[in-house]
Amino acid sequence: MENIDLLITNATILTLDKQNSRSGSLAVTNGRISGIWTESEPPSTIILTPRTEVLNLNGRTIIPGFIDTHNHILMYALNKNKVNCSTPPNSSVDDILERVKLMAIDTPKGKWIEGYGYDDTLLKEQRHPTREELDRVAPDHPVFLTHISSHFAAVNSKALILAGIDESVSNPRGGHFGRDINGRLDGVLHEIPAMEYVQKYVPVPSVDEMITALGEGSKDYLSQGITTNSDAGVGLFIGEAELEAHIVAAKEGINPMRSQLMVMHTLLRKGEKFGNYSAEQLNEEIMKSSNGNARLDSAKMFQDGSIQGLTGALREPYYNNPDVVGELLYHQEAFNEEILDLHRRGFRVTIHGNGDRAIGSILDSYSYALEKAPKDNHRHRIEHVQTATIDDLDKMKQLSVAGSVFINHVYYWGDRHKRLFLGPERASRISPLADMVDRDILFTLHSDCPVTPISPLFSVWAAVNRLTKEGEILGADQRIDVVTALKSMTIFGAKLNFNEANVGSIEIGKQADFTVLGDDPTQVNPMEIKDIPVEATLIGGKIVYEKEGALLG
């Protein structure tokens, strides 16, 4: 072995290969793993050169770099400059109003005020902020506050006026405008189709501002050990400019992570810039423009909303509202044809589905496309897979459809799902990981950041323990073991990304993407997994994050 650039010694290496082997040292050459040894030091026959960097991990654990297959890093990064409406720190509508009021004082009249992260079900009043309340604290500014789920917004009168919305407005398919007991618009926009009426009037950041934001956001992701990341809706709010920002940030190393771009299907429709592109053509353009640091992941669609917003499409009514079952965003026939078009053009398709009726609709569309144009190894996906039934999972297996599972729902919404939205029986089955393991369905875990904080170790913890915020184990029979949970954010993610030949496990020839942990997740008390510190993150054998001199100090 020649020209070793990096030698890692005295480590606890979880390779997460097929044998789940453990090692003690490894070598990196030209950004790829060139040697792995069981012992803590390589054999004496290994020759080091003056330029070889040696990292003694002093027993720390090293695993393949984490892969988060579904989040919204650009949205997360842009939120940093908006009003923080989250709970905590806010516990009431009044707390949020005070923050909006303070922002209005420092914002020129007429300029938009944006906020993010409020959760009506966690606020003392158990409701959204209203138009009248926002008018009171910001009468001279249009206001747009986004719900934690990104499926609702609260706006004031000035925002409605600028958007040309009056009392005669009709509800769009898949969304509606909230109204008070007198039938007057209350300023709450339910679901993306309604939000878009106002959001298109909110000034958008420039490409340069988005590039800078991606750089800042990536620092937080790297600190959590993420080396490959998927933005799950490129173009959702700002259009093609989002794609440009991602490509430049990747090309210039402003965002050092390996980027998977889930491009909104609306940018791929006939008449749009990419309307005549095949997936291969678009991927080649992205790869070339980003110096190989970004790749096309998929064409992204939605088929319903969120369970907590009563807009996830269910087969049976909501537990707390027997008149509501949610709504599919697309009629099945039109949905089928759009999926078929994307499928024939070579796109892997990823579709948001929370409710079981939406999941069934998605599976029907995939079945339709595969019947018309059979294709092996398509790896079409369902995003979130929150309330999939046994029959849904059986059909996923039959069609070889993969799932990216929003496991964090269990902790953050499990109690409310049981008490309010789904009832005990359905709530205990959300994110049915054990049933997916039993069927050998390819799946990953994700954070959906900024809906929940970015933390792969937290998601692993949630999958292993299924503990809710109030301390209840929700669906004990759906817990999975630690190694499987770790693989769901490493090698399974690599497979979902069609990149298992290069990343996802620690094996000779693969790219040297590593996460260094302060403890071994397979050895600690399972309840402590989320608290294990991330000491460092390496991409291509280069340190891109280090906690307070953990490696070099």
- Assess whether 441 and 320 both reside in one domain: yes
- Assess whether 83 and 49 both reside in one domain: no
| Average pLDDT across the chain, whole number | 97
Query: Residue 379: how many CA atoms within 13 Å on its side-chain side?
Result: 20
Tens digit of each residue's pLDDT (9 = 90 or more) over 202-241: 999 999 999 999 999 999 999 999 999 999 999 998 999 9
- Assess whether 415 and 349 both reside in one domain: yes
Q: Which two tokens stand for residue 89?
A: 């720190």
- Assess whether 470 and 338 both reside in one domain: yes
Output the CA torsion sign for 437, 491, 526, 306.
Answer: negative
Q: Answer whether 88's CB lies under 8 Å from 124's CB.
A: no
> Domain boundary residue among 164, 181, 199?
199
Asked if residue 241 belongs to a domain, the reply is no
- Assess whether 499 and 512 both reside in one domain: no
Residue 136 backbone dihedrals phi, psi, to 5 degrees: -65, -40
Tell me how crowded residue 377 is: count the other CB atoms within 10 A of its CB: 7
Asked if residue 289 belongs to a domain, the reply is no
Tens digit of each residue's pLDDT (9 = 90 or more) over 119-171: 998 999 999 999 999 999 999 999 999 998 888 999 999 999 999 999 999 99
- Assess whether 499 and 520 both reside in one domain: no
pLDDT score at 150: 86
Q: Give residue 97's domain range.
A: 77-199
Cα–Cα dist 259/335, whole Å: 28
- Assess whether 492 and 540 both reside in one domain: no
For 222-239, the DSSP string reads HTTTEEEEEEEEETSSST
pLDDT score at 551: 73
pLDDT score at 160: 98
- Assess whether 412 and 487 both reside in one domain: yes
- Assess whether 50 and 146 both reside in one domain: no
Asked if residue 457 belongs to a domain, the reply is yes
Q: How confident is the model at residue 201 (pLDDT cuts 50, 70, 90)?
A: very high
Asked if residue 230 belongs to a domain, the reply is no
- Assess whether 123 and 47 both reside in one domain: no
User: Residue 546's beta-bridge partner residues?
Assistant: 536
- CATH assignment of the domain containing 37: 2.30.40.10
Tens digit of each residue's pLDDT (9 = 90 or more) over 75-116: 999 999 999 999 999 999 999 999 999 999 999 999 999 999
Rounded to a whole number, what is the largest CA-CA distance in the chain?
A: 83
Q: Residue 383: is its pLDDT beyond 60?
A: yes
Helices (H), 256-320: 279-289
pTM of the model as a whole: 0.94
The radius of gyration computed from the CA coordinates of the chain, to the nearest angstrom, equals 24
- CATH assignment of the domain containing 122: 3.10.310.70
Q: How confident is the model at residue 1 (pLDDT cuts 50, 70, 90)?
A: low
| Amino acid identity at 357 | R
Rama region for 273: left / alpha / beta (φ>0; ψ in -120 to 50; rest):
alpha
First to last CA, the chain: 29
Asked if residue 85 belongs to a domain, the reply is yes
Asked if residue 253 belongs to a domain, the reply is no
Asked if residue 479 belongs to a domain, the reply is yes
| Amino acid identity at 129 | P
Cα–Cα dist 35/545, whole Å: 23
Name the percent of the chain lying above pLDDT 90.
94
- Assess whether 450 and 518 both reside in one domain: no
Q: Residue 553: is its pLDDT beyond 70?
A: no
Asked if residue 410 belongs to a domain, the reply is yes
**DSSP secondary structure code for residue 473 in this structure:** B
- CATH assignment of the domain containing 480: 3.20.20.140
> How many domains are there within the chain?
3
CA neighbor of 526 nearest in space, from 480, 478, 493, 487: 480
Q: How confident is the model at residue 552 (pLDDT cuts 50, 70, 90)?
A: low
CB-based burial, 5-26: b 16+ in 10 Å, e otherwise: bbbbbebbbbbbbeeeebbbbb
> Domain boundary residue among 199, 232, 247?
199
- Assess whether 86 and 20 both reside in one domain: no
Please report where in the chains the tokens 């490509």 appear, as a residue. 247
